[in-house]
Amino acid sequence: MTEFLRLAEDIAREAGDMLLAKRPTMSEEIETKSSPTDVVTALDKASEELIRERILAARPGDRILGEEGGEEPGDSDVRWVVDPIDGTVNFLYGLPDWAVSIAVEVDGQVVAGVVNLPARGEVYTAALGEGAWLGAERLRCNTGVPLAQALVATGFGYGVSRRAIQGQVVAAVLPRVRDIRRGGSCAIDLCSLAAGRVDAYYERGINPWDYGAAGLVATESGARLEGLHGRPVSPEFAICAAPGLFEELHELLAAQNPERDA
Ligand code: LIP
């Protein structure tokens, strides 16, 4: 596990340094993906290429799932789950909240995760059963916070028709909580929860590369991360908070039927 974590951290730092150094010259090259607001920059692709090369040089045969390049086949029971830039819109606009995220799964379970925020100089790490860390600081999420006093992070997937529903859901949540934050990166929202900078998080439409590494950071900090009705977290839905607040937020969200499409 330590070997996985060290390698993931080295690679996430190298990709982050490259992105910081090159950002001003290459960020103009933009394509769109699932919708006009779903962007990918040349640097998303360059970052993922670098990460894939480094993983395969160190561990040939391992499988890799990346946001931009899809799944690399392989026989290994080890799979690396990579988001070369989570928070691409922030990155594009020069906002500091974007991250390189690398998770390592063994037999389908995330055992190590690294989330590097180069523009903030922060690196979050977690290892299964061994805790979550911001640099050398052990992380523990906030506990004992009632829903009415909770600062809740969320995000909005890019699908245009789903955005109307996401707006309805957030309108139901807002009057019941302290406030809402929309930071622009699922990975950073989950790490912020682990660090006690927000109390809870929910979102529809995220992907394994968004929550792979940061999900382990959050759960190792003491939080619960699940889908609705006891289902595992998935692209359909994610809720994360310390036990107690988790159940309160789950009740509120489930009543909104937030997975509906119309
Ligand atoms: C982003 C997610 C964020 C979500 C955005 C987007 P990207 O990922 O991390 O939580 O709200 O819509 O999906 O596109 O920056 O890798």
142 lies in some domain = no
Q: Looking at the structure, do residues 203 and 250 belong to the same domain, yes or no?
A: yes
Q: What CA–CA distance (Å, rounded) separates 125 from 132?
A: 6
Return per-residue pLDDT of the chain as tens, 262 residues.
Answer: 689 999 999 999 999 999 999 875 545 567 776 766 666 778 889 999 999 999 999 999 999 999 988 997 778 999 999 999 999 999 988 999 999 999 999 999 999 999 999 999 999 999 999 999 999 999 999 999 999 999 999 999 878 888 999 999 999 999 999 999 999 999 999 999 999 999 999 999 999 999 999 999 999 999 999 999 999 999 999 999 999 999 999 999 999 999 998 7
Asked if the interface predicted TM-score (ipTM) of this complex is over 0.90, the answer is yes
Measured in angstroms, how far is the CA atom of residue 189 from the centroid of ligand 1?
10
Residue 261 lies in a domain: no
Number of domains in the chain: 2
Q: Provide the pLDDT for residue 202.
A: 98
Q: Is there a single domain that holds both residue 125 and residue 32?
A: yes
* 241 and 220 belong to one structural domain: yes
Q: Are residues 213 and 183 in the same domain?
A: yes
233 inside domain: yes
User: Is residue 11 in some structural domain?
Assistant: yes
- State how far Cα 85 lies from the chain centre: 10
Indicate the pairing of strand 63-66 with strand 70-72.
antiparallel
Q: Is 183 in the pocket of ligand 1 (CB under 6 A)?
A: no
CATH of the domain at 182: 3.40.190.80
User: Residue 89: which domain range?
Assistant: 2-137
CA of 155 to the centre of ligand 1 (A): 7
Determine which residue's CA is closest to atom 12 belonging to ligand 1: 157
Q: Check pocket membership of 202 for ligand 1, CB cut-off 6 A.
A: no
